[in-house]
């Protein structure tokens, strides 16, 4: 690769980094002119447990299609229109502002149907779909989407009509193919690193479950025996988000055993909302979700950022008696099979499932005695420290990919 020389050009219509065999200018076209399909997905009953697999927002929360986080539709009579094809792209157009523009590429490993709250992009035959996927993942395009997005309480959205107004630069099909093949190699290395991380996470989870289940010295406690619950923030408008203090969202809690502050939002706080501050060692739990399995998903905050706040789709528990519970141990306990089995029956609802704080705080759980909690934690931490290293490697690989996406596109 060589750097393109744009010094004498008034309009930068070629990228900064380019394969040397290509010299033609890139063409500016409407974003939607590359697509034969740009539309929302099928509406379906989120309570269905069987039927064809349907995409939903959580399906692409990690930037790739997660088949463990799909919905189901048991009445597919009119749904054949929504079956996905190889090369289709799912696009998040309704989400928190920083997640607007999140995408996933469908490689057809398993059958999947296009569900509601995600847009589907299907490229025309003269456009390389994988190139187009990388094109809309660069910061230039995502920034345009976020500028056009309309904000509401806790979420933003961009309409299909606004998307169609966006212009992009496109090279000829040969250069598209060369760029996507190069970036696909980097993506495969990232996928491999993802698998390494998943294996470590599975190993840690299996060791955690085994150590807890086999522990004979246990004590029965409710969370109210050693903690005090508090609610997340509520009543916020769009104007309250985007600046101020860091706050933890549903997705931060849902996706992490230990909260990672690299992906939190910002919110304005007044004096009456100080009770929602998160402290070191707090247990954070999800209150509401589309499925009962995702209610009561837990994480523990072990960082030092202060003050830090919690949003209204979660609640927290301050530890008030560390003679009964060891907060770092709880980071593993709240993801254990024994904890999840105990919380699952507490989910209430029909179209959406909710967890009542009062019910949860009274529920009795079996914990290893405090000495054993320290011992179990010391064992699991050895593996978790290795996992942290693997996640750091992943972050470096992703940074490399982001740099290339900025340099290879206009």
Say if 223 falls within a structural domain. yes
For 49-69, how does the pLDDT look when each residue is reduced to its tens digit (9 = 90+)? 888 999 999 899 888 899 989
Q: What percent of the chain has pLDDT over 70?
A: 90
Q: Which of 38, 43, 39, 62 is closest to 54 using CA atoms?
A: 43
Say if residue 5's pLDDT is above 60: no
The residue with greater pLDDT, 410 or 296, is 410
The CA–CA distances, whole Å, from 151 to 56, 158, 208, 244, 269 equal: 20, 9, 41, 17, 19
What residues does 285 pair with on adjacent strands?
298, 315
Spatial contact of 381 and 200, defined as CB atoms under 8 Å apart: no
Lowest-confidence pick of 161-165, 273-277, 400-404: 273-277
**Residue 342 sits in a domain of what CATH number?**
3.90.220.20
> From edge to edge, which strands make up the β-sheet containing 89-91?
35-40, 119-123, 89-91, 103-105
> Is residue 154 very low, low, confident or very high in pLDDT (cuts 50, 70, 90)?
low
The pLDDT assigned to 202 comes to 92
* Shared-domain flag, residues 334 and 304: yes
Residues 374 and 356 in one domain: no
> 166 and 273 share a domain?
no
Higher pLDDT, residue 336 or 97: 336
Residues 354 and 290: their CA atoms lie apart, in Å, by 9
Do the domain assignments include residue 17? no
| Whole-number pLDDT of residue 56 | 92
Residue 292 and residue 191 share a domain: no
User: Are 361 and 241 members of one domain?
Assistant: yes
Please check the confidence at residue 33 and state whether its pLDDT lies above 80.
yes
Task: Write phi, then psi, for 110 (nearest 5 degrees).
Answer: -140, 155
Residue 241 sits in the same domain as residue 200: no
The tally of CA atoms less than 13 A away on the side-chain side of residue 236 is 27
The more confident residue out of 240 and 339 is 339
Instruction: Classify residue 16: in a domain, yes or no.
Output: no
Q: Is the pLDDT of residue 2 over 60?
A: no
Cβ(257)–Cβ(333) below 8 Å: no
| pLDDT at residue 300, rounded to an integer | 82
Task: Give CA–CA dist 410/115, Å, rounded.
Answer: 31
pLDDT of the residue at 303 = 77
Same domain for 75 and 88, yes or no, is yes
Q: Which domain holds residue 128?
A: 26-170
SS3 category, 212: helix
Considering the domain boundaries, does residue 100 fall inside one? yes
pLDDT of residue 45: 81
Euclidean distance between CA atoms 260 and 190, whole angstroms: 20
Residue 331 within a domain: yes
Alpha helices in 106-163 (DSSP H): 129-135, 139-148, 160-163
Q: What is the pLDDT of residue 47?
A: 77
Q: What is the pLDDT of residues 311-369, one digit of tens each?
A: 778 888 999 999 999 988 988 998 888 888 888 888 888 777 888 888 899 999 999 99
**6 within a domain of the structure (yes/no):** no
Specify the pLDDT at position 169.
94
How much is the pLDDT for 238? 67
Among the listed residues 70, 29, 96, the one whose alpha carbon sits nearest the alpha carbon of residue 250: 96
pLDDT of 200 > 70? The answer is yes
* Residue 279 placed within a domain: yes
CB neighbour class for 247 (10 Å; exposed up to 12, middle 13-18, buried from 19): buried
pLDDT per position as a tens digit, 252-274: 665 555 566 666 778 887 766 66
Same domain (yes/no): 157, 264: no
Distance CA 316, CA 309 (A): 10
Do 224 and 364 sit in the same domain of this protein?
Answer: yes
Rounded CA separation 112/323 (Å)? 49
pLDDT at 272: 66
Burial of 177 (0-12, 13-18, 19+ CB in 10 A): middle
Confidence of residue 103 (pLDDT cuts 50, 70, 90): very high
Within 10 Å of residue 199's Cβ, how many Cβ atoms?
12
Look at residue 93 and give its three-state secondary structure: coil
Distance CA 58, CA 69 (A): 6
The reply to whether 191 and 320 lie within a common domain is no
Helix, strand and coil percent figures for the chain, each rounded to 5: 40, 25, 35
247 plus 355 within the same structural domain: yes
- Token readout for 274 is 């100080």
Claim to verify: residue 261 and residue 343 sit in the same structural domain: yes
Q: Does any domain span residue 15?
A: no
Q: What is the domain-level CATH number for residue 187?
A: 1.10.287
For the chain, the average pLDDT equals: 86
For residue 8, what pLDDT is reported? 55
For 343, the token pair is 């919380």
How many domains does the chain divide into?
3
């Amino acid at each position: 690769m060589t750097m393109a020389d744009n010094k004498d050009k008034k309009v930068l219509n070629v990228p900064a980094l380019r394969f040397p065999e290509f010299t033609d200018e890139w063409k500016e076209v409407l974003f939607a002119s590359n697509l034969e399909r740009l539309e929302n997905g099928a509406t379906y009953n989120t309570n269905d447990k069987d039927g064809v697999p349907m995409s939903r927002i959580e399906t692409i929360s990690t930037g790739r299609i997660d088949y463990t986080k799909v919905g189901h539709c048991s009445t597919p009579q009119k749904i054949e229109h929504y079956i996905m094809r190889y090369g289709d792209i799912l696009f998040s157009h309704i989400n928190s502002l920083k997640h607007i523009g999140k995408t996933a590429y469908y490689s057809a490993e398993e059958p999947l149907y296009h569900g509601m709250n995600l847009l589907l992009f299907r490229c025309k035959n003269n456009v390389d779909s994988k190139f187009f996927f990388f094109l809309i993942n660069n910061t230039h395009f995502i920034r345009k989407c976020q500028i056009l997005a309309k904000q509401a309480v806790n979420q933003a959205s961009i309409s299909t009509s606004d998307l169609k107004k966006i212009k992009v630069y496109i090279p000829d099909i040969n250069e598209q193919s060369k760029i996507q093949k190069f970036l696909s190699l980097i993506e495969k290395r990232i996928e491999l690193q993802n698998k390494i991380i998943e294996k470590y996470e599975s190993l840690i989870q299996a060791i955690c479950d085994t150590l807890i289940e086999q522990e004979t010295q246990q004590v029965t406690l409710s969370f109210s025996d050693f903690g005090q619950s508090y609610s997340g923030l509520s009543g916020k408008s769009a104007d309250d988000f985007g600046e101020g203090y860091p706050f933890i969202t549903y997705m931060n809690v849902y996706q992490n055993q230990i909260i990672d502050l690299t992906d939190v939002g910002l919110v304005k706080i007044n004096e009456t909302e100080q009770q929602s501050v998160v402290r070191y060692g707090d247990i954070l739990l999800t209150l509401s979700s589309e499925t009962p399995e995702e209610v009561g998903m837990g994480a523990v905050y072990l960082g030092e950022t202060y003050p830090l706040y919690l949003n209204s789709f979660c609640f927290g528990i301050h530890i008030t008696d560390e003679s009964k519970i060891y907060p770092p141990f709880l980071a593993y306990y709240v993801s254990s099979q024994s904890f999840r089995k105990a919380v699952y029956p507490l989910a209430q609802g029909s179209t959406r499932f909710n967890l009542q704080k009062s019910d949860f705080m009274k529920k009795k759980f079996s914990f290893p005695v405090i000495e054993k909690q320290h011992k179990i934690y010391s064992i699991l931490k050895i593996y978790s420290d290795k996992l942290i290293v693997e996640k750091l490697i992943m972050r470096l690989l992703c940074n490399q990919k982001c740099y290339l996406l900025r340099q290879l596109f206009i």
